Amino acid sequence: MKRRLSKKVVALLVVLLVVAGGVGYLYFPRDRGISAAVAATLAILNTDITAQKGSADFAPALDGDLLASGDVVKSSRDGRAVLTFFDGSTLTVDPGSIVKVTTLNRVGEGGIQVTIEQTLGRTWASVAKLKTPDSKFEVKTPTSTASVRGTAFETVVQQLPDGTTSVTFKADDGQLLVTAAAGGQTTVDAATQVTINQNQTAPQSSTPIPPSPSLRLVAAAGLGYAVIAPTGAKCGSAGNAQEIPGCLVNGNVVTIREPLAGRYTLMLTAAGAVQNAAVRVDALRGSAQEATQTFTRTFALGDLVRTFFTYGAGTPLSVGAFEPAEQITSVCGAEATGRVFSSGALQERYDLLTRFARDNRGAPVSLVVTETEVAKAIADSLAQGGTNAPAQLTDVALSVDGNGLHLTANIVTPLGTFAANGDVIAGPVNGKLVLRMRGLQAGPLPAAIVQQVQTAIERAMADFTDGFPMVVRRVALRPGCLGIMGTAPA
């Protein structure tokens, strides 16, 4: 049976909006009413990320999940994620890691107090300059605690063969103050590191980080850009993201310490017209350049372009030639993988995706949808009366950012009109697309409507998510768009 994307999407979103009219707390007990203004938002870079919220059991985490004090994130050997705190600081969680948000508070004048407890694995913290004297950002491990006031650093917690724990802190920027559980403190300046084993006191001084391979990207003035690693993590002057471990941004120069080998995406935009603008990529071993490539293009105002290059970590290091550049329509399009369906009418795009998945078993594929397209589809469906919702909805609005899909509407019933709003977060669970409500708010609705809504939720969710024509690996929520990435069924 041919599936109609627009009505499926709209039916699901509108039903979820109706849930916000008062029944959400009955049927979605995991929602704790946390606001993104006082929480850390989770972005899933690869599947197999689970989260424990409060006293609940571990459950698959979704893009846009909010974490507060006491919540735990655990990554499998393949899982990767980024926590973004309300002050803009980020914590990248690598495979095989366990981190707990022990403390997360907002203090006066935009300050933040964060304590992360890391018991295993590797993380990379890019900490915004703390705004108040009582602000803090610290990472606590079994052997030691690192405190900072605005820096970028790596924390590696390892289990040794004898069952004890060893922890290494590497500062790429700024300064750390590391306090050992067994006593003593070490100041760790930029480009140095310290290792503290279980039951050992802190050494008197840190040591230089050993020379290692690195990537350096240098862009022409007027270009904003971001490089996306094979893991999906970003770093660049556009948006000032520093999610890639070992990545630093200094104006239009980006450096990545110990980059992973593989295919990198380069996303570029220009604030104005720029003739023959260039980006150079150098592969360095220590200070010696072993490979280089340059990408050159003329940009018009507002152009958004992506290209790719491949980095090889052999001897010598290598940087492959840039692939042909392509114009894209959104940030989600830049991050999408495989065959990307991001242009044309929404229904036509979905039909093309379905045919591609049928004819290309196991191939990587992505669907990109903008908030404007979804909002228009909602308006068109409401005008046609095609949602079969148990109440009339008016003034529907939608926006998308890293915290989720934000929906508002008025629900018109014989008993009155109810203002409703709710968020939808998304992600893969066992290869299937899952959408979940978060932060539901609205006036009360009668029990009869509650039951109708419950039935509509079950029908709409099963109908849409069960028939999605790909094995979903990742859902990226970005300002103005969402990208659904995965592979065609094998």
Please write the tens of the pLDDT for every residue from 62-87.
Answer: 888 889 999 999 999 889 999 999 88
**Residue 289 near residue 255, CB atoms below 8 Å:** no
* CB neighbour list of residue 455: distance below 8 Å, 6 or more residues apart: none
Q: Cα torsion at 271, 277, 282, 286 (round to 10°)?
A: -60
| Whether residue 180 has pLDDT greater than 90 | yes
DSSP state of 57: P
The pLDDT, as a whole number, for residue 168 is: 98
The pLDDT, as a whole number, for residue 12 is: 46
Nearest of 160, 197, 199 to residue 183 by alpha carbon: 199
**Residue 126 near residue 152, CB atoms below 8 Å:** yes
Average pLDDT over all residues of the chain = 85
Average the pLDDT over 164-188 and give the result: 96
Strand-strand pairing, 364-370 and 339-341: parallel
In angstroms, the CA 267 to CA 325 distance is 10
The pLDDT, as a whole number, for residue 35 is: 67
The pLDDT, as a whole number, for residue 339 is: 92
pLDDT digits (tens, 9 = 90+) for 288-330: 999 999 999 999 988 999 999 999 999 999 999 999 999 888 8
| Whether residue 9 has pLDDT greater than 60 | no
Is-above-0.75 flag for pTM? yes
* CB neighbour list of residue 35: distance below 8 Å, 6 or more residues apart: 66, 439
pLDDT digits (tens, 9 = 90+) for 425-470: 888 888 888 877 666 566 676 555 545 554 555 555 556 667 788 9
Q: Is 414 exposed, middle or buried (0-12, 13-18, 19+ CB in 10 A)?
A: exposed
**Residue 373 near residue 345, CB atoms below 8 Å:** no
Average the pLDDT over 41-70 and give the result: 89
pLDDT-based confidence at 100, cuts 50/70/90? very high
The pLDDT, as a whole number, for residue 463 is: 62
